[in-house]
Amino acid sequence: MPRLAPCRRRDPHFKQGAGMSRKRIVITGAAGAIGQRMLEPLRQRYDVVLLDVTDRTRDGNSVPGLEVCDLTTADRDAYRAHFRSADAAVHLAFVRAPGM
């Protein structure tokens, strides 16, 4: 399995310290099929943080605001900031076993 890069913040929708009038939701697996179906309705109602191990969908389309992030690492400090101040998390990510 290839080594994934550590997380890095580059989400233009994230507003640190802004008057958090809208709920903040973290979506893991945001580039996946289910994440893509849920994305627009959630963006209309919430501030979203989009995380995935890739910045592209299966069709090769980029996902605006998505942060490439390895959530499988044991170093929780590498991704802890993404979940800070979150009101909810929608966990859609999975790691495909080798050979599947």
The number of domains in the chain is: 1
Whether 54 is in a domain gets the answer yes
Walk along the chain (100 residues) and give the pLDDT tens digit of each residue: 445 555 555 555 555 455 557 899 999 999 999 999 999 999 999 999 999 998 899 999 999 999 998 888 888 888 888 999 999 999 998 877 777 6
Whether 19 is in a domain gets the answer no
Whether 64 is in a domain gets the answer yes
Whether 6 is in a domain gets the answer no
Whether 5 is in a domain gets the answer no
Whether 47 is in a domain gets the answer yes
Whether 10 is in a domain gets the answer no
Q: Is 19 left (phi over 0), alpha (psi -120 to 50) or beta?
A: beta
Q: Where do the H-state alpha helices sit in 1-100?
A: 33-45, 80-83
0.75 surpassed by pTM: no
Q: For residue 43, give its domain range.
A: 24-91
